[in-house]
Amino acid sequence: MDISAIILAAGQGTRMNSEQPKVLHELGGAPLLVHALRSAASLEPARTVVVAGVGGDAVEAAARAWDPDVVTVRQDEQLGTGHAVLQARPALTDAAGDAVILYGDTPFIRPETLEAMQEARAHFDIVVLGFDVPDPTARYGRLVTRGDSLEAIVEFKDADDDTRAIPLCNSGVVMANVAILFTLLDAVTNDNAAEEYYLTDIVGIARSKGLTATVVRCDEAETLGINTRAELAAAEAAFQSRARAEAMEDGVGFVAPDTVYLAYDTVLGRDAVVEPNVIFGPGVTVESGARIRAFSHLEGCHVSRGATVGPFARLRPGAELAEDVHIGNFVEIKNAQIDEGAKINHLSYVGDASVGSKTNIGAGTITCNYDGVFKHRTTIGKGVFVGSNTMLVAPVTLGNDSMTASGTVVTGDVPAGDLAVGRARQVNKPGLARKMFERLRAAKAAKSKGA
Ligand code: UD1
Ligand code: CA
């Protein structure tokens, strides 16, 4: 059946004490909103509508950056969750099938949970995701049930003590036929303790009209909403420990898993080894058997089988390492293809470049890729030996099997098989070092006598 996703992201997030809208704060290297969009995407929705509010331009931009097909609408005044969902109506006039309501500040809803809700929809008109919290002071809406039937949702503020004692709480995630959802929302009023249009009221209204409703349960951790920076940090810790555990189950070796930080989309192959204190930004794939050594930082890059990276290496977006490449300490690679078996072992910057197979780049080599205005490419062939401390002033090409003498500033192309030497010729002055030492030591002795 067709499904549309409605993601509420209009919350002010004032408790973050931030210039940034709450849903744009990052978890596992992606905005909270992207995590909600990914949950939604697991249902392959025909349409996804993000309801933005305060800081809406940035929220809309982030949603579209993730998926240009996402439709965004505005809720200018926060009049309640029911009012927020109604803002999506004009974007869904031609939608058939179901709608699922998710939240931009609730990043952990699992695809399996949404699937279970879809299955329950076969038997009930409205499906609400609930969780158990046996704490009568927890400020959640309570789910009033009779057997499998959900009779009503009562907001904490409006609940009496008996209702607050119900352990079954509302996550806010709801699934229902899209036309029925909006019809029910039309009947919602703001006659309640908060004077808000509650989405939750649709359940009682539906029951009074003879429609059916039920609850699908999940863990509280899954429905965790983020309101403060402390909650965000706790969510990050939870995300990291789950991601590490999953990677280890997939056969990834961690020496000290608690010191490795993964992104939401990090892909690590079986028998890849990650040493302590490695940080993965978004967009990293490390293939089987590759080794990422301690204190390396990787983002937007691909490390093939048998390659080693680090310690203290930095791979930036567009770094493509083929099999058996060696990247050593204090080496930075950006937007560069490094072919099979090439070695860049010490203190180098290689950016906007391609490096051929079996090429060796000596210590301290720099691709001078930026002239202050434009970026230029460096092309290095196969089997090249780049001497230490070579400056490659791009655009420049080094042919296959060429060499550069150490200290060379390469400003012109080097043909295949040639050696480029571009440095001042060395001159030795016989005995001059000894003479200079004598003169300097004598000066020092005279100075200390005078003092
Ligand atoms: C809501 C539920 C409550 C549930 C709880 C779970 C309602 C009325 N109550 O309460 O039953 O236990 O979530 O966390 O739905 N939002 C908007 N526009 C608005 C109001 C809210 O976009 O006008 C968004 C917020 O950004 C937030 C979400 O909807 O992401 C929930 O709103 P919030 O005010 O936090 O509702 P709760 O009082 O927590
Ligand atoms: Ca909330």
Ligand number, closest to the Cα atom of 171: 1
User: Both tokens of residue 438?
Assistant: 């004598």
Q: Give the closest residue (by CA) to ligand 1 atom 26.
A: 11
Nearest CA residue ID for atom 31, ligand 1: 81
Answer whether the bond into residue 395 is a cis peptide, omega within 30°: yes
Q: Which ligand is nearest to the CA of 168?
A: 1
- Which one of 25, 83, 302, 346 is the catalytic residue? 346
Nearest to 339 by CA among 351, 354, 361, 349: 354
The CATH number given to 3-223 is 3.90.550.10
Q: What is the DSSP string of 395-407?
A: SEEE-TT-EE-TT
Cross-strand bridge partners of residue 309: 292, 327
What average pLDDT score do residues 215-227 get? Answer: 95
Strand partners of residue 177? 98
The residue whose CA has the least distance to atom 36 of ligand 1 is 81
Tokens of 81: 């969750």
Ligand nearest to the CA of 170: 1
User: Residue 235 pLDDT more than 80?
Assistant: yes
Ligand 2 centroid to 173 CA: how many Å?
A: 12
Residue whose CA is closest, atom 8 of ligand 1?
Answer: 198
Q: How far is the CA of 224 from the centre of ligand 1 (A)?
A: 12
57 Cα: distance to centroid of ligand 1 (angstroms): 21
- Quote the DSSP letter at residue 426: P
Q: Which atom of ligand 1 is nearest to the CA of 10?
A: 22
| Average pLDDT of span 36-52 | 98
Instruction: Give strand ranges (E) for 133-221.
Output: 142-146, 149-154, 168-177, 213-217
Contact predicate 170/203, CB 8 Å: no
Cα–Cα dist 354/339, whole Å? 8
| Residue 40 DSSP symbol | H
For 160-172, how does the pLDDT look when each residue is reduced to its tens digit (9 = 90+)?
999 999 999 999 9
Q: How far is the CA of 134 from the centre of ligand 1 (A)?
A: 20
Q: Is the predicted pLDDT of residue 449 greater than 80, yes or no? A: yes
Residue 329 has pLDDT above 90, yes or no: yes
- Please state the pTM of the whole predicted model: 0.93
Could you read off the pLDDT of 101-143 as tens digits, one per residue?
999 999 999 999 999 999 999 999 999 999 999 999 999 999 9
**Class of residue 373 by CB neighbours under 10 A (exposed 0-12, middle 13-18, buried 19+):** exposed
Q: Any idea what DSSP says for residue 435?
A: H
The pLDDT assigned to 272 comes to: 98
Q: What is the mean pLDDT of residues 4-33?
A: 92
Q: How confident is the model at residue 54, as a pLDDT?
A: 79
Q: Tell whether the model's pLDDT for residue 149 goes beyond 90.
A: yes
Mutation test residue for ligand 1: of 7, 8, 73, 81, the one with most atoms within 8 Å of CB: 81
Domain boundaries, the chain: 3-223, 235-420
Provide CATH code, domain 235-420: 2.160.10.10
Enter the tokens of residue 407.
């200290």
Q: What sign for the dihedral angle of Cα 100, 104, 109, 110?
A: positive
How buried is residue 35: exposed, middle or buried, by Cβ count under 10 Å (0-12/13-18/19+)?
Answer: buried
Tokens of 335: 């937007």
Q: How far is the CA of 81 from the centre of ligand 1 (A)?
A: 6
Residue-level pLDDT at 359: 98
Q: Which of 10, 97, 81, 91 is nearest to 45 (CA)?
A: 97
Tell me what the pLDDT averaged over the chain comes to.
Answer: 97
Atom of ligand 1 nearest to the CA of 104: 30
* pLDDT for the residue numbered 429: 98
Residue owning the nearest CA to atom 27 of ligand 1: 11
Whether residue 107 contacts residue 36, with contact meaning beta carbons closer than 8 Å, is answered with: yes
Rounded Cα distance, 435 and 105, in Å:
74
Atom of ligand 1 nearest to the CA of 106: 30
The binding-site residues of ligand 1, defined as CB within 6 angstroms of any ligand atom, are 8, 10-11, 51, 53, 75, 78-81, 83-84, 103-105, 140-141, 153, 155, 169-172, 198-200, 225
Expressed in angstroms and rounded, the spacing between residue 103 Cα and the centre of ligand 2 is 9
Task: Output the pLDDT for position 417.
Answer: 98
Q: Whose CA is nearest to atom 6 of ligand 1?
A: 171
| pLDDT per position as a tens digit, 53-89 | 878 999 999 999 999 999 999 999 999 999 999 999 9
How far apart CA 21 and CA 236 sit, in angstroms, is 18
Give residue 105 CA to ligand 2 midpoint distance, Å: 9
Write out pLDDT tens, residues 266-276. Answer: 999 999 999 99
Return the residue whose CA atom lies nearest to atom 1 of ligand 1: 172
Joined together, the tokens standing for residue 432 give 């001059």
Atom of ligand 1 nearest to the CA of 197: 8
Strand 253-254 and strand 273-274: the pairing is parallel
Model confidence at 376: pLDDT above 80: yes
Residue 11 in this model has a pLDDT that exceeds 80:
no
Is 346 catalytic? The answer is yes
Closest CA to 302 of 315, 312, 293: 315
